[in-house]
Structure 1
Amino acid sequence: MTRERSTPLLLTPGPLTTDIATRRAMLDDWGSRDAAFIAITARVRDRLTRMVGGEDGHVCVPLQGSGTFAIEATLGTLVPREAKALILVNGAYGRRMAKILERLGRRHETLETAEDVPPDAKAVAARLAGDAAITHVAAVHCETTSGILNPIAAVAAAVAGQGRRLIVDSMSAFGGIPLDLRRVPCEAVVASSNKCLEGVPGLAFAIVRRDALAASAGNAHSLSLDLHDQWRAMEGNGQWRFTPPTQVLAALDQALVLLDEEGGVPARHVRYAANCRVLVDGLRRLGFETLLPDALQAPIIVTVRMPADPAFRFDAFYDGLRERGFVIYPGKLTEAPSFRIGCIGAVQPQDMEEAVAAIAAVMAGLGVASGAP
């Protein structure tokens, strides 16, 4: 892994710090209808599908735009207009899926837990058993509102046990937390290029059961967000229907090479877990308290409770860290006063040790005695 430190490290959930080789892959221009670019599209689609063991029954459909574009495309394409969905909510991204379905005019309900409480698979099964009209369940794999890792395998088993279909927003987990579709039944898994895959923003994708895509013709509310049409076009001639983000796809192609060289998703998970451990241990030494207990914390992003010390001012804290070469996530999504620090990207445990040292230095400069809430 190589990186130039001409810019600060991005300790965020994405966009994030990328390897210099990934950025260099964007220097070439590509013709979107050229055979060489068509080959890149096919290679990336195949790699992403195989990464989660989906090669026997699933297919990857890439889409221009951010992860939310692909979430809306997936919900709009796979959930028929006469169907009903159940959304599992314990943060902002579950609520976003519910908002999308509301805008689409699709019937839906939510099953909510607190931000620091994962969905309960038994409660999901009970809700489904009590409402035969529910056809689909949508859940977030890693809810970066808090950083919680939701029990997707248990939820998937509950949904399959009731004969329903599961759509997973794995935006902040795909490529960093192992997932095997041969053991975790999902109709679709949705993610993007600029998180644990360590690519750049501008491309998202859904890995969808082939039979579900084949049956979804006519469901979509939008031409540009119709995954069925996108899939049919790519299966026909390998091309995107509309102008693709050519350099972004080339960067993702290179990023996937780097992922393989690192040892695949299991090895990347180990590195991210080490990053997270260094960060959490260092924060606790400084008196900070994390929102989540370790057992629920995904090694993606850590939510930290705001210090009670009146000398602590978040804007000054943020600016001080940036001056020292570290960009964290400003603002909050949680109900609790908090801020977030990411553990993913082309970042090593040594970088996290330096980040902790920078946090200590900024606190001292602000006159903050402790990070305790």
Structure 2
Amino acid sequence: MKTLLLTPGPLTTSDATRAALNRDWGSRDGDFVAMSERVRARLAALAGVADTHEAVPVQGSGTFAVEAAIQTLLPRDGRLLVLVNGAYGRRMVEMAHRLGRAVTALEVAEDAAIDPAAVALVLAQDQAVTDVALVHCETTSGLLNPLEAIAGVVAAAGRGLMVDAMSSFGGVPIDGRAAPFKALMASANKGLEGVPGLGFVLVERQALRAARGTASSLSLDLHAQWQGFVANGQWRFTPPTQVVAALDAALDQLDAEGGVAGRHARYSANCRILVEGMARLGFETYVAPGLQAPVIVTFRPPAGDWFDFDEMYAWLHGRGIVIYPGKLTAEPSFRIGCIGAVGPDDMARAVAAIATFVAERRGVAAEPALARA
């Protein structure tokens, strides 16, 4: 029975994706160069921005891509407005501080969506703000922020929008024409169902051209990285060759599933089975249903002294099911992911296992309906 990584990433991967890791590639070889260019084009096309944006990959995790975008695309004399309702928004604020850039945070509660009207008000009051940063799906809680509405407000104010779409890209529809952005940051190992080691940024070509010399880092300079691809299709520094190959294979599988729409439908089914099954077991979701993304769900611990997360984690881990601790700042929680190469049957297996754990700890027999959840 396969191990289920029901986490924010790395995720459960398919046999086909893992098989793509088995070949060695020369980083300067023509076949690898062609594959890199193909992957870059496919990533831009997924957001409908192939005509206006470039996909610039970066070696490392998604956080590397976010930091590369901020330091390359935020003018040194600019100011970044970060919209914060979780840990990943706060991380962007810290990045800007570390880079010595001016930054302002508009922060709301972790179970509240960013209000586009509040963003419009800040932009009207602070003309020094040049760029706005938003986490699309705040993985802290699993909350989905209103990307299109916020993008419209930012565009109307004449500012640039940077979107951290780390856990949503590939699994939640994003249309760069309906939600215009200056940059979108994501990684291979979440909704795209690749493996860790590659982040990327979709950047407006005009913004890339204007960013020459802005970055303070050599290796995280998106303009220089892009120029390397323009010159000869090659990475400036050693690329994660097998990771690129696995992503190419994962993109084939995304296409076969019906694209982002098809994947979103599967993730939504996974999420529904999880939330409904956990509710029957007495677990309450942290995020309201209308704000919940079909990516990862945060649960509050149930009432009573019988429940211990570490105990449940170890119990599930011993049965090939890996979940995730919570990341909320205000209260205890834990998270279960809905993404990766898993389907409704896998989610039902996870819910059934949790039902057995709950029954054992409470000293009651598991209800048949829960055992089949």
TM-score above 0.5? yes
Relative to structure 1, is the Cα distance of residues 157 and 331 closer, same or farther in structure 2, using a 3 angstrom cutoff?
Answer: closer
Deviations 1:152-190 (A, max 9, x none): 100000001111110000000000000111111100000
Task: Give the letter aligned to residue 306 of structure 1.
Answer: P
Amino acid at match of 1:274: A
- 2:97 is the alignment partner of 1:102: yes
**Alignment match, 1:65:** 60
**1:34 aligned to which of 26, 29, 34:** 29
Name the structure 2 match of 1:209.
Answer: 204
d(CA) in 2 for partners of 1:165 and 1:10?
36
Letter in 1 for 2:133: A
Q: Secondary structure at the match of 1:25?
A: helix
- Gap change, CA 1:368 and 1:257, over 3 Å in 2: farther
Aligned residues: 365
Determine which of 163, 170, 173 is the counterpart of 2:165.
Answer: 170
Q: Give the TM-score of the pair, scaled to structure 1.
A: 0.96
User: Within 2, Cα distance between the matches of 1:15 and 1:254?
Assistant: 16
Aligned twin of 1:364 = 359
| 1:81 and 1:219 in contact (8 A); partners too | yes
Distance, in Å, in 1 between the alignment partners of 2:85 and 2:327 is 15
Which amino acid in 2 is paired with 1:182? R
> Is 1:76–2:89 an aligned residue pair?
no
Q: Does 1:268 pair with 2:259?
A: no
- The answer as to whether partners of 1:156 and 1:166 remain within 8 angstroms in 2 is yes
Q: Who is 1:224 aligned against? A: 219
Structure 1 counterpart of 2:239: 244
Amino acid at match of 1:79: L
TM superposition shift of 1:333: 3.2
Unaligned runs of 5+ in 1: none
Q: CA deviation at 1:330?
A: 2.5
Contact 2:198 2:244 in 1 (8 A): yes
Which string of whole-angstrom CA distances, capped at 9 and with x for unpartnered residues, describes residues 185-212 of structure 1? 1000000000000000000000000000
Q: Return the TM-score normalized by structure 2.
A: 0.96
1:149 aligned residue (136, 139, 144): 144
Within the candidate set 310, 315, 322, 1:320 is matched to 315
Whether the 8 Å CA contact 1:177–1:269 is kept in 2: the answer is: yes
5+ long unaligned stretches in structure 2: 367-373
Q: What SS does the aligned partner of 2:64 have?
A: helix
Tell whether the 8 Å contact from 1:44 to 1:253 is kept in structure 2 after alignment.
yes
What is the rounded CA distance, in whole Å, between the counterparts of 1:271 and 1:95 in structure 2? 30
Structure 2 partner of 1:190: 185
Q: Which residue of 2 aligns with 1:234?
A: 229
Question: Structure 1 stretches (4+) deviating beyond 4 angstroms?
Answer: none
- Aligned-residue offset at 1:30: 0.2
3-state SS of paired residue (2:282) = coil
For 1:201 and 1:84, locate their aligned partners in 2 and report how far apart those are by CA, in whole Å: 31
**Are the aligned partners of 1:85 and 1:135 in contact in 2 as well (CA < 8 Å)?**
yes
Alpha-carbon separation, structure 2, partners of 1:305 and 1:274: 21
Superposed displacement of residue 334, structure 1: 4.0
